[in-house]
Structure 1
Amino acid sequence: MSLRQWARDLGLGVRFAFSGGREGWIRAVLTAVGVGLGVAVLLLTTAVPAALEVRHDREQARLDWPFGDKQPTKADDTLLITNVDTTFRDKDVRGRLVEPEGTRAPLPPGLSRFPAEGDMVVSPALKKLLAADGSALLRERLPYRVVGTIGESGLVGSRELAFYSGASGLAPHVNGGGVTRLKEFGNPDPEPSDEQTDPVLLLLILVVIVVLLMPVAVFIAAAVRFGGERRDRRLAALRLIGSDGRMTRRIAAGEAMAGALLGLVLGTVFFLVGRQVAGSVEVMGISVWPSYLDPSPALAALVALAVPTAAVLVTLFALRGVVIEPLGVVRTAKPARRRLWWRLLLPLGGVAMLYPMIGQGHANGDFNQYLVSGGVVLILVGITALLPWLVETVVARLGSGGVAWQLAVRRLQLSSGTAARMVNGIAVAVAGAIALQMLFAGVDSEYTKATGKDVTRAQMQVDVPDGAPLAPTAQKFADTKAVRKVTALWEGYLGDTSWKTEEGPNQLAQLTVGDCSALREVAKLPTCKDGDVFLLDGDEYSGDGPKLNQPGRKLYLERSTPEGSKETFWTVPAGVTQAHSTKGLTDYERGGFLMTPSALPKAAAELVTGEIYLSIDESVPDAYEYARNTAFQVDPLARPMNWSATQQDVKFTSIRTGLLVGAAAVLALIGASLLVSQLEQLRERRKLLSSLVAFGTRRRTLGLSVLWQTAIPIVLGLLLASLVGISLGAVLLRMTDTPVGVDWASVLAMTGVGAAVVLVVTLLSLPPLVRLLRPDGLRTE
């Protein structure tokens, strides 16, 4: 058969698709919508690498710390900048105070000029948030005048909350105070990183990509088969006027290709609309600018070529067992029973591809990406092969019931393949999600570490700038709404000789200052009153405290400043009380000396660094916001931090977040595609449903029958998805050398999400169903 003949027959099919009257156009549009939704997601997927690269480049371009051995000296082209990030109701706000030291100071990306002291330039999202009615506490914390907005080049996402505020007097905090002096933003000499990505993290990335893309491919394959029954009747008419069987199948493939080509156009439109919408939404804390979502030309061309090709191949494959004759299509007779053996070869082949990597874990190099991708694809594709057999086998054995049940079962017995195609996508998505959740849950402990912070005693920590007065600072937090307890500790190090000597101290002892209540958080004290001094024993790091505990000995305390170092001394008094060190709020045992405030020399109060630990009454709305506002009042450079019992690896968290964002997009595709498929099925049965109504069948009975026709395949699909997902998850866990365990909560959650999507789609399809249940649906042209 020549290529010319193929092209002629496919072209004839395209003409039939668009010149077949109203029915032809409806069929083509439905196919195009289904394909277009999948194409839009594929285009979005091809744009993700570019979007991530642009986000990374924007983040690198605004890096605001000096690269090199030391900071530059003050000059006409230097800028002072400090981090004043904050959080408002679980939303991170990126903040910077800036002070140009000359006319040629570097401007931050996205700014056209420096804000004056007391002014700030904000991101569009922060400007909107500050103007909202419920943001009074944030406005109190950022009492600056808004004089402009940050440009797109200075933000990594459209919904990012960020600001730059003008400041003065930052120079004294350059060394050790969190203030940086720089001549330019970004890394002037970027070097490739030698860091190797963890093999298990690479495995997670591979599996996430495959799991998110497989449902899209399944839906596109199902969409090109819309209108199959009506198409078969037209194909019989073509045989009647003289076309042979092969030519008829090629014409049918041309019709499917026409819908796919129209789907490419609609998919491009959906993508462009979605790209604009993406600029106004935030998913799991991630937002992008529309310009980020620019598909790679090569990948976009691959999508444009692959979708029509897949439409042709899927149609030819679907018609392989259909005998099209001039007087009808043999499919209307009782079909032959589906065979199971070859359907099992797909998942077994997938397991065989993954088996060589069982037990590889972290220590044996990267996982083979081709074997991983191919194995996971085969296992998930196996669902699409097994589900039609499962539906056919089960519905063939379903017994009698009510009228609605019998109508539904009989319909499924006659067209179990059509019912299975509707469910394939959701089943593949649920199976992949279950496997990924098992994998994430299994390796979670490897990437989650305990912070050592005792969140039962404190939930927040504030680093107080050097020199802040001890008692007044602690009292401000004690007077703050929703703060139940304040533990204020000031810290430093005592040396046996002056810090200004060339050698410096030979022996050091830790110094901790606080009231009796605070000191009891870090040690067992026999008695305590203001003015007492204690020497700790039993500390985790012994230090030289006992060696320096000689009455009358001078110990030196020092702190560096831009103007030079400040130093004072403290004389060890007689009768220092012994105390036993215990695990403190931050899970380590202190050593050296404990001192109550009045025992600390006045000159030394400016040389210790304050740490304040807060116990928060979380039942109070915005409890943490009050504490953050107090920290700002104490000093704009104070850094409040929320505590958590555990800390997760950043890359692991990013992969999980990416999965959730992608899953949200795929779920939207699943819902939209299922709705289109459901409407197409109802349109196919319009005359049948109208005939039953005309003969007196109750609408309620027909409505229930349609619901049963949806529910039975969905239940079977979700059961199969759960079995395959658990099996795939177990294989992946064995590959990472992790004990196999089933996270039943996640399994039920993923299954429930799939069922919920189907339920929503079914409810949305009820209004069209009611309109179809009318006798006038028998009217024809």
Structure 2
Amino acid sequence: MRGRWARDLAMGVRFAFAGGREGWTRALLTAVGVGLGVALLLLTTAIPSALQARDERGNARTDITYSGEKLPKGKDTLLVADVDTKFHGEDIRGRVLEPEGPDAPTPPGVEKFPAVGEMLVSPALKRVLESDDGKLLRERLPDRIVGTIGHGGLIGSADLAFVRGGEGLAKHVDGSYVERIKQYGDPNPYSDPMDPVLVLLILVVLVALLMPVAVFIAAAVRFGGERRDRRLAALRLVGSDSRMTRRIAAGEALAGSLLGLVFGTAFFLMERQFAGSVEVFRLSVFPEDLNPSPALVLLVAVAVPAAAVLVTLLALRGVVIEPLGVVRTAKPARRRLWWRLLLPVGGLAMLAPMIGQGNDEEFNEYLVIGGVMLLLVGVTALLPWVVETVVARLGGGSVSWQLAVRRLQLSSGTAARLVNGVAVAVAGAIALQMLFSGTENAYTADTGFDVSKAQMEVSVAGDTELATAVERLRETEGVRQVIANHIGDLGDKRLDPERTSTVTVGDCAALREVADLPSCEDGDVFAVRGAEYDTDTPKLAVPGTKLYIDPSYEGDTRGKEVVWQVPEDIRQAESLKDLTGSERGGFLFTPKAAPEAALPALLGRAYIALDESVPDVREHVRNTAAALGPFVYPSDWSATKQSDRFASIRTGLFVGAVCVLVLIGASLLVSQLEQLRERKKLLSALVAFGTRRRTLSLSVLWQTAIPITLGLALASTVGLTLGAVLLKMTNTAIRVDWASLLSMTGAAAGVVLAVTLLSLPPLLRLMRPDGLRTE
């Protein structure tokens, strides 16, 4: 039995490659369709390794760990300053390096420390600096470029990073922006367990993105099915039985799938090389990082040919191949609905026990994967029945409409196969968008920043005076207003105070943003009441009490505490929410009342209101900050902040959706060309009888538009149902994201329209009268 199977499959493989132009054409079409799917599968299996490589390189270049450990200066120590910046919304990693000895560790990707006035940049940053758009950034980074950072110091091909030489960093070592280190890399990286809802999101993203790929591969192995079956009738005529004929057909599909594995590998290698030169949703990788897991590659290599054989055998169960022809043109039996409904119902049954369990760390991921898969597979089972049922009731209209409807009535299954992948992709995307939109609030926090009054903040430390910074910032193009103050700590002891409070120094306008002042003149001092969690200020604000500004703590030997005595005329003020959204307590000093010696120990902050109509206004502010000194840090304000993990998963969805959308378009185009090729003689005959080419072109459009409309309607229904169930699993109120639903269906419709337009040139060529010629 095994020998018979092997012999028949081998004969089918031989027919595929030795059957003349007809056999080669079908094998190539199948190989291209399967290859596109295999390439995406290989890319998907390679993404985890690429992300792991990014994480490993990111950890290897970690320098400032905020550990609080204070190292003594030595021949093997290095001073590192964080001088990160942004340009047009892109993060740029920047470091100033000052080796303190010959054995100081060099950063990954760097062979030699740059001298003062020199810098090394990543290749991507070098391209930006040398471009016309990089003029403003070049003003901010004026050091001479003496080389580039190697791959070991970058997390991706589009990573923007620089390192430059520095001096005099020792006096600024504070463990936050400047740190002394002996080695690179964090030996104890923090690992936060994954939120169960985020795990659910990842599982659904993977299933929803990979299901359309499987559907496309299953459809690709059936390319040229009608012509193949007619050729198989000849085999019946020379003596093969029906089972042998089906095995030979499976062998032909096997040949196409094996060739598809070769094509898919080639496509993947091209994708991998291309991936190194692009950035998708701010995510980039190096080509060598895209290494699929050997086990997953083996799984793909075995599963795709096996699926090709299985799909072919299942497809031929409803086809009677006799010596004198194929009984396919007779009216087929009506498709039954009951078993098709079992798939989505079974999927819902698997997901039902998980309702309300999405936040439980013990939730069953296998039930989730199985339920989502059954629901999405249910789309592929229901769509042929929906298309057949609807087109059977369509009637008269224009000639192009009637041609399209009649063709769909004769081969509704083929039409459904063309759009099955699109429908599955849209259903999964709609469900995911609902899940993301529903859970977004749980992973989005209000920053509290008053963005109506300020849109940027500049922290001023080091040797830069706040007054100088404010003056320069006010002169910057696009800056409307600057509100500035100094902030620091105060305690009842020089070392390890038992009671602490805060100190804020600013003019009356700045202090009114912090507290409700009865009146204010330069020279006044206020004690703020009513601030949340501030219980020490009322006890410290007793006239005559001696307090210490910028007190020291255990292990801190600075000894620069400034003594201040609470004056008799200290005034009271009520706390308000400041620009950062917090209730500021403590003591408020106007400039004349503040001890002059205390100002260098306090951190200066400037809150900036921008004129957003000025082009690149934020870049102008960053340039001004960079010119003030290396420890002047600008930052953007936003009303909300989203979880990094949630944002990363959403980015992964967008990247995957782009890849699947490209696959949808390419596979549909190949499928459309294969359908037109099979109808070459029919099209030529219609033209010969006087049918206008415009009519035939419109009929092709209708043949695509009708199934895709039905498919999108079914996908929307299943997607909304799945999205609602997933939201119930996470105990989230059901809310339909209509904008996302319309955008997803619109994108799918746009892809189909583009494919139809691209297929028009070959359609016009196939309409030539010489298409009737035969040999």
Is the pair's TM-score, using the shorter chain for normalization, greater than 0.5?
Answer: yes
Tell me the alpha carbon deviations over residues 751-778 of structure 1, each in whole angstroms, 9 at most, x when there is no partner: 1111111111111111111222221221
Residues in 2 aligned to 1:177 and 1:771: alpha-carbon distance in whole angstroms: 69
Residues in 2 aligned to 1:326 and 1:700: alpha-carbon distance in whole angstroms: 39
Tell me the alpha carbon deviations over residues 75-110 of structure 1, each in whole angstroms, 9 at most, x when there is no partner: 000111121111100111111111111000001000
1:119 is aligned to: 118
1:753 to 747, 752, 759: 747
Give the alignment of 1:361-380 within 5 angstroms: 361-362=358-359, 364-380=360-376
Residue 268 (structure 1) shift: 0.5
Q: Which 10-residue stretch deviates more, 747-756 or 392-401? A: 747-756
Residues 306 and 506 of structure 1: is their aligned pair in 2 closer, same or farther, counting only changes over 3 Å?
closer
Residues in 1 aligned to 2:189 and 2:599: alpha-carbon distance in whole angstroms: 44
1:480 is aligned to: 476
Q: Does 1:545 align with 2:537?
A: yes
1:739 is aligned to: 733
Residues in 2 aligned to 1:330 and 1:760: alpha-carbon distance in whole angstroms: 35
1:424 is aligned to: 420
1:285 partner amino acid: R
Residue 211 (structure 1) shift: 0.6
Residues in 2 aligned to 1:683 and 1:45: alpha-carbon distance in whole angstroms: 32
Q: Which 10-residue stretch deviates more, 375-384 or 601-610? A: 601-610
Give the alignment of 1:331-342 within 5 angstroms: 331-342=328-339
1:586 partner amino acid: T
Contact 1:177/1:465, CA 8 A, preserved across alignment? no
Contact 1:172/1:563, CA 8 A, preserved across alignment? no
1:239 is aligned to: 236
Q: Does 1:304 align with 2:301?
A: yes
Q: Does 1:53 align with 2:49?
A: no
Residue 273 (structure 1) shift: 0.8
1:556 is aligned to: 548
Q: Does 1:513 align with 2:510?
A: no
Tell me the alpha carbon deviations over residues 459-484 of structure 1, each in whole angstroms, 9 at most, x when there is no partner: 11111105532322211111111111
Residue 177 (structure 1) shift: 5.7
1:711 is aligned to: 705
Q: Does 1:411 align with 2:407?
A: yes
Residues 529 and 68 of structure 1: is their aligned pair in 2 closer, same or farther, counting only changes over 3 Å?
closer
1:764 is aligned to: 758
Q: Which 10-residue stretch deviates more, 401-410 or 515-524? A: 515-524
1:344 is aligned to: 341
Q: Which 10-residue stretch deviates more, 685-694 or 364-373? A: 364-373
Give the alignment of 1:309-708 within 5 angstroms: 309-362=306-359, 364-466=360-462, 468-497=464-493, 499=494, 504-551=496-543, 553-558=545-550, 564-708=558-702
Tell me the alpha carbon deviations over residues 92-139 of structure 1, each in whole angstroms, 9 at most, x when there is no partner: 111111111100000100011111111111111001110001111101
1:92 is aligned to: 91
Residue 575 (structure 1) shift: 2.8
Residue 550 (structure 1) shift: 4.5
Residues 373 and 140 of structure 1: is their aligned pair in 2 closer, same or farther, counting only changes over 3 Å?
same
Tell me the alpha carbon deviations over residues 487-528 of structure 1, each in whole angstroms, 9 at most, x when there is no partner: 11101233344x15xxx5444332111122211211222333
Q: Which 10-residue stretch deviates more, 210-219 or 542-551? A: 542-551
Residues in 2 aligned to 1:562 and 1:165: alpha-carbon distance in whole angstroms: 29
1:272 partner amino acid: L
Residue 38 (structure 1) shift: 0.4
Give TM-score scaled by structure 1 length. 0.96
Residues 763 and 559 of structure 1: is their aligned pair in 2 closer, same or farther, counting only changes over 3 Å?
farther
Tell me the alpha carbon deviations over residues 424-461 of structure 1, each in whole angstroms, 9 at most, x when there is no partner: 00000000000111111111111111111111111111
Residues in 2 aligned to 1:625 and 1:619: alpha-carbon distance in whole angstroms: 13
Contact 1:171/1:562, CA 8 A, preserved across alignment? no
1:221 is aligned to: 218
Contact 2:8/2:248, CA 8 A, preserved across alignment? yes
Q: Residue 75 of structure 1 aligns to a residue in which SS?
A: coil
Structure 2: which 5+ runs fail to align?
none
Q: Residue 690 of structure 2 aligns to a residue in which SS?
A: coil
Residues in 2 aligned to 1:483 and 1:192: alpha-carbon distance in whole angstroms: 39
Q: Which 10-residue stretch deviates more, 59-68 or 365-374? A: 59-68
Contact 2:66/2:176, CA 8 A, preserved across alignment? no
Tell me the alpha carbon deviations over residues 577-602 of structure 1, each in whole angstroms, 9 at most, x when there is no partner: 33222111112211222122222232
1:720 to 714, 721, 729: 714
Residues in 2 aligned to 1:349 and 1:602: alpha-carbon distance in whole angstroms: 75
Q: Which 10-residue stretch deviates more, 663-672 or 604-613? A: 604-613
Q: Does 1:294 align with 2:291?
A: yes
Residues in 1 aligned to 2:242 and 2:490: alpha-carbon distance in whole angstroms: 95
Q: Which 10-residue stretch deviates more, 113-122 or 638-647? A: 638-647
Residues in 2 aligned to 1:125 and 1:139: alpha-carbon distance in whole angstroms: 14
Q: Residue 175 of structure 1 aligns to a residue in which SS?
A: coil
Residue 543 (structure 1) shift: 4.0
Tell me the alpha carbon deviations over residues 369-419 of structure 1, each in whole angstroms, 9 at most, x when there is no partner: 221111111111111110000000000001210100000000000000000
Residues in 2 aligned to 1:49 and 1:775: alpha-carbon distance in whole angstroms: 53
1:3 is aligned to: 2
Contact 1:233/1:329, CA 8 A, preserved across alignment? yes
Residues in 2 aligned to 1:326 and 1:520: alpha-carbon distance in whole angstroms: 96
Contact 2:491/2:551, CA 8 A, preserved across alignment? no
2:711 partner amino acid: G
Q: Which 10-residue stretch deviates more, 644-653 or 396-405? A: 644-653
Residue 547 (structure 1) shift: 3.7
User: What number of residue pairs does the alignment pair up?
Assistant: 773
Contact 1:93/1:161, CA 8 A, preserved across alignment? yes
2:749 partner amino acid: A
1:15 partner amino acid: R
Q: Residue 485 of structure 1 aligns to a residue in which SS?
A: strand
Contact 1:224/1:256, CA 8 A, preserved across alignment? yes
Residue 553 (structure 1) shift: 4.6
1:481 partner amino acid: E
Residues in 2 aligned to 1:545 and 1:230: alpha-carbon distance in whole angstroms: 89
Residue 665 (structure 1) shift: 0.9
Residues in 2 aligned to 1:467 and 1:131: alpha-carbon distance in whole angstroms: 31
Contact 2:350/2:370, CA 8 A, preserved across alignment? yes
Residue 69 (structure 1) shift: 6.2
Residue 563 (structure 1) shift: 7.9
Q: Residue 332 of structure 1 aligns to a residue in which SS?
A: coil
Residues in 1 aligned to 2:210 and 2:534: alpha-carbon distance in whole angstroms: 57
Residue 67 (structure 1) shift: 8.3
Residue 66 (structure 1) shift: 5.3
Contact 1:466/1:610, CA 8 A, preserved across alignment? no
Q: Which 10-residue stretch deviates more, 533-542 or 308-317? A: 533-542
Residues in 2 aligned to 1:104 and 1:372: alpha-carbon distance in whole angstroms: 54
1:737 partner amino acid: N
Residues in 1 aligned to 2:497 and 2:246: alpha-carbon distance in whole angstroms: 91
Contact 1:46/1:299, CA 8 A, preserved across alignment? yes
Residue 694 (structure 1) shift: 0.8
1:662 partner amino acid: G
Give the alignment of 1:21-60 within 5 angstroms: 21-60=20-59
Residue 150 (structure 1) shift: 0.7
Q: Which 10-residue stretch deviates more, 450-459 or 219-228? A: 450-459
Residue 654 (structure 1) shift: 1.2
Give TM-score scaled by structure 2 length. 0.97
Residues 68 and 544 of structure 1: is their aligned pair in 2 closer, same or farther, counting only changes over 3 Å?
closer
2:765 partner amino acid: R
Contact 2:172/2:462, CA 8 A, preserved across alignment? no
- Over aligned residue pairs, what C-alpha RMSD do you find? 1.7
1:605 partner amino acid: L
Q: Residue 528 of structure 1 aligns to a residue in which SS?
A: coil
2:334 partner amino acid: R
Q: Residue 456 of structure 1 aligns to a residue in which SS?
A: coil
